[in-house]
Amino acid sequence: MGLSYIFMRLRLALLAKTGSKRRIKFWLKQGMKIGRDCYINNVNFSTEPYLIEIGDHVAIAAGTDFITHDGAIWCFREEIKDADVFGSIKIGNNVFIGNNCTILPNTTIGDNCIIGAGSVVRGNFPDNSVIVGNPAKTVLSMQMQK
Rg (CA), the chain: 16
Q: Residue 13 is inside which H or E element, if any? A: helix 3-16
Q: Is 101 helix (H, G, I), strand (E, B) or coil?
A: coil
Instruction: Let me know: does 27 contact 34? Beta carbons within 8 Å.
Output: yes
C-alpha span between 91 and 101 (Å, rounded): 13
Among 112, 107, 111, smallest CA distance to 136 is for: 107
Q: Which of 7, 11, 10, 42 is nearest to 24 (CA)?
A: 42
Nearest to residue 23, comparing CAs of 8, 49, 41, 3?
41
This prediction's pTM: 0.82
The one-character DSSP state at 86 is B
Contacts 24+ apart (CB under 8 A), 122-126: none
Q: Per residue in 44-70, pLDDT tens?
A: 777 888 999 999 999 999 999 999 987
Mean pLDDT over each residue of the chain, to the nearest integer: 87
Number of Cβ atoms within 10 Å of the Cβ of 21: 11
pLDDT, tens digit (0-9, with 9 covering 90-100), for 4-48: 777 777 777 777 777 888 888 888 988 999 999 999 987 677 788
Amino acid residing at 88: S
Q: Compare 143 and 35 and report the one with higher pLDDT.
A: 35
